[in-house]
Amino acid sequence: MSDMRTLGEFIVEKQHEYPNASGELSSLLSSIRLAAKIVNREINKAGLADITGAFGGENVQGEEQQKLDVYANEKFKAAMAARDQVCGVASEEEDEAVIFDSELSRNAKYVILMDPLDGSSNIDVNVSVGTIFSIYRRVSPIGQPATIDDFLQPGNQQVAAGYIIYGSSTMLVYTTGNGVHGFTYDPSIGAFCLSHESMTIPEDGKIYSINEGNYIRFPLGIKKYIKYCQENVPEEGRPYSSRYIGSLVSDFHRNMLKGGIFLYPSTAAYPSGKLRLLYECNPMAFIIEQAGGKASNGHQRIMDIKPTELHQRVPFFVGSTNMVEKTEAFLAEFPDED
């Protein structure tokens, strides 16, 4: 590792970047760090304990919940409730926002939006999964319970966002609007240690990540872009590579380090897209922009979209700037046929 500073030490060191937080944001990030350790422990023994497979219910999107979805949701929610900095949580696994209504929480400045376990269906086959989180300053009056307006803010109002990837090693990556920093978990000392300071994504890349099994259902512009990737050879003389894990955090993390684009367009089954604006797209958009990349719905900057509902879906294209802009150009040139 390049630096033995722990996440806790780094957060304290960087507190001057958000002087109006008075330490609350640092404490909140520490809560996320703790919950990540607990979830990581359970994921690492998933093949030994009875925590894999379906839970037996569905979330609000009608998707089958996995046992670890429910476990991770409860652990992150409990970690947020235990601190006095959060007045409410919205989760992909909850129908409605969870409002913390104690006297202390009513005076809290922040709300959290999260996907507690992205890609959880991959747990059974030992494929990397992740947690995605987004932090906003509340807009409702301090001293009162949080309202829906606190959660329905555009992504450009985020004060922090990040993800945890539970893979061959566990990493926590976050931004507070001053660059992107990554920390790798060292189980021997029980701490996240700085391993990737000031992460940046290459302006261009050779990797495209998309579920090509849905090809016939894609918009015409996306079909054209895929053909472009398959038929064109970059200057270095090697063709583009198709890499798709099926876990947003995993695909995003690889492309951020190596250069590439993740695409999840609209389809016949999901005409508005499938990924959630608030829990997945906005936080990843904040991170990628801070790393020098771009995030779009194909026509508009993701973080400028004004949410209208908690579980709103959007098409999502995120990664190296040149690749995202090329995708937008294909979508503009080849609109869907009527």
Strand partners, 161: 134, 175
Spell out the residues 6+ positions from residue 231 whose beta carbon is closer than 8 angstroms to its own: none
Classify strands 207-209 and 241-242 as parallel, antiparallel or unpaired.
parallel
Q: Rounded to an integer, what distance in angstroms lies between the CA atom of residue 46 and that of residue 95?
A: 26
For the annotated binding site for substrate, the residues are 118-121, 211, 244, 274
User: Which residues fall in the annotated binding site?
Assistant: 92, 115, 117-121, 211, 244, 274, 280
Q: Using CA atoms, how far apart are residues 23 and 16, in angstroms rounded to an integer?
A: 10
Separation of alpha carbons 266 and 79, rounded Å:
35
- Do the strands 110-118 and 129-137 form a parallel or antiparallel pair, or are they unpaired? antiparallel
Gap between the terminal Cα atoms of the chain: 54
> Which run of H or of E encompasses 295?
strand 294-296
Beta strands 191-196 and 180-186: pairing type? antiparallel
Buried b (16+ CB within 10 A) or exposed e, 255-265: bbeebbbbbbb
Kind of pairing between the strands at 64-66 and 180-186? unpaired
Burial class (CB in 10 A: 0-12, 13-18, 19+), 125: exposed
Asked whether the beta carbons of 43 and 234 are under 8 A apart, the reply is: no
Pick out the residues of the known binding site for Mg(2+): 92, 115, 117-118, 280
